Amino acid sequence: MNSLEQQSWQSVHDEVLRRIHTREWKPGDLIPKEVELAEQLGCARATVNRALRELASEGFLDRRRKAGTRVAAHPVRRAKLDIPVIRLEIEGRGQKYAYALLFSERRTPPPEICANLGVTAESDMLHITSLHLADGKPFMFEDRWVSIAATPTILDADLEKISANEWLVLHAPYTRGDIYFSAVNASEAEAKVLRTEPGTSLFLMERTTWENQTGITSARLLFVPGYRKHSAI
Amino acid sequence: MNSLEQQSWQSVHDEVLRRIHTREWKPGDLIPKEVELAEQLGCARATVNRALRELASEGFLDRRRKAGTRVAAHPVRRAKLDIPVIRLEIEGRGQKYAYALLFSERRTPPPEICANLGVTAESDMLHITSLHLADGKPFMFEDRWVSIAATPTILDADLEKISANEWLVLHAPYTRGDIYFSAVNASEAEAKVLRTEPGTSLFLMERTTWENQTGITSARLLFVPGYRKHSAI
DNA sequence: AGAAATAATATGTACGTACATATTATCTTT
DNA sequence: AAAGATAATATGTACGTACATATTATTTCT
């Protein structure tokens, strides 16, 4: 890279990353300011800015006004995790998706759900449990509470045909939420549904989603033994 | 929002997200082109471009040249997962971090490590197991293989003082890596190290990192029972 | 009609300028 | 010397223009 050829923000991005990788710029180091880099690399400051901004969002740089830009001292790698609808995840593996509604009841929520969603114990809610299958075998067990106040139209949905998971993604898309990943031992009931032994280690995903300040749904997704969630850095 | 006030890319971002939330624009819908939106919202196209670009990277929009911009039809939510150095994760919880090297040996790798890293069975490698503690209690058990060919200076590192985890982050930059999350039952040995019962469900993180085409390190990180990894959408 | 060449078009990016803003450094005051 | 006010500065963002590029739509040719 020299100062004569035409530069793109990606080439600036790559060049800066190269200097970090080769330890020319080490963790904690202050790197040249945008105007200097722009001159060095033969491009406009806006181009350098775009490149450095991306690198900062990827966790490689720390940037502060007036103080300048430093190579991140404690590289926090930011993994991107795709959370697709469960049907697409199964079909993406080349397996056949099927779904069974196990249980659906309109009732008031237990204390832990109230705490999760920030609703009162008298809230009108829908409690749904269902099983998602891949190639006919149990893949994931879903235990979900949905606030009827937040999404009243779910009462019209035919949850025998479309899973609550998928219905919610289509009808209350793009909400904010928390996800927790953990590992639990299968209870008697859970083992039976997933056709495994009690005590088997299961991957658990707990999701709570919000629309603005109101809780919409809280779900407990238990995956079949051996399930692995992949992510790339 | 009207066309008179001064717009920022964030306000455009939020306004577009609002229209998606209110289902004014539904999944699959084609939204107005950048110039039109810019006129509607009273700002420059560059500003709209920035906002829509962010929304696309968050998974809300699909953009294609000439074809235009659509609301994502199959909302794949993209969760961002921060993977800090384990010391920072523990200190971030307000707990005191400690570390113990259990075992360190220079030897050739077993078949599964060869497969993971793409190295031969005769490779010169370092096998390290260690325990990370939070407030004096076992928190995570690390079983790691490091390629000496890829990072020869690790032989100079004092792995009694600094964990391989932390040393590698500071001295062995990598270009890409894989992470797998899963749940396993504790073996006898693992249970003993983590001071729990055999069979207990443990959260497992398997990491492999690469510098271009050469594998650097492969690690198996086993967390204490009850551990939860958080992510937000 | 079907294939190939061509035009049209929405997004992608680069640049220069201008100003905003957060933060640090310096100077003043007490 | 400590505190407070003020200046300096690097990044953050907005704008308008220009051109690049990928993809679709249209036309031309066989």
Would you kindly state where each structural domain of chain A is located, as residue ranges?
A: 9-71, 86-223
Q: At B59, is the secondary structure helix, strand, or coil?
A: coil
Q: At A55, is the secondary structure helix, strand, or coil?
A: helix
pLDDT at B181 over 80: yes
Q: Report the alpha-carbon distance of residue A91 to residue B177 in Å, rounded.
A: 25
pLDDT at A154 (0 to 100): 93
Chain B residues whose beta carbon lies within 8 Å of the beta carbon of residue A173: 20-21, 27, 75
Find the CB nearest A81 among B200, B209, B231. B231
For chain A, say whether B92 makes contact (Cβ under 8 Å).
Answer: no
Interface list for B 212-231 with A (CB within 8 A):
223, 225-231
Backbone angles phi, psi at A14, to 5 degrees: -65, -40
pLDDT at A7 (0 to 100): 63
For chain A, say whether B170 makes contact (Cβ under 8 Å).
Answer: yes
Q: Report the alpha-carbon distance of residue B107 to residue B119 in Å, rounded.
A: 13
Token code pair at residue B112: 């599964």
Chain A residues whose beta carbon lies within 8 Å of the beta carbon of residue B204: 183
User: What CATH code would you report for A86-223?
Assistant: 3.40.1410.10
Q: Report the alpha-carbon distance of residue B210 to residue B233 in Å, rounded.
A: 28
Closest-CA distance of chain B to residue A32, Å: 21
pLDDT at B177 over 50: yes
Token code pair at residue B148: 């000496």
**pLDDT tens digits for B108-121?**
999 999 998 989 99
Whether domain B9-71 has CATH 3.40.50.2300: the reply is no
pLDDT at A3 (0 to 100): 35
Mean predicted confidence (pLDDT) in B78-93: 89
Q: Cβ of A229 and B182 within 8 Å?
A: yes
Q: Cβ of A173 and B20 within 8 Å?
A: yes
Nucleotides of D under 7 A from a protein CB: 8-17, 20-24
Could you tell me which residues are beta bridge partners of residue B177?
B209
Closest-CA distance of chain A to residue B151, Å: 13
Chain B residues whose beta carbon lies within 8 Å of the beta carbon of residue A229: 180-182
**pLDDT tens digits for B189-204?**
999 999 999 999 999 9
Percent of chain A with pLDDT over 90: 74
pLDDT at A22 over 70: yes
**pLDDT tens digits for B20-70?**
988 899 999 999 999 999 999 999 999 999 999 999 998 899 999 999 999
**pLDDT bracket for residue B7 (50, 70, 90):** low
**pLDDT tens digits for A26-58?**
999 999 999 999 999 999 999 999 999 999 999
**CB of B46 within 7 Å of some strand C atom:** yes
Q: How many C-beta neighbours within 10 Å does residue B25 have?
A: 21
Q: How many C-beta neighbours within 10 Å does residue B109 have?
A: 22
Q: Report the alpha-carbon distance of residue B201 to residue B188 in Å, rounded.
A: 12
**pLDDT bracket for residue B232 (50, 70, 90):** confident
Instruction: Calculate the average pLDDT of chain A.
Output: 91
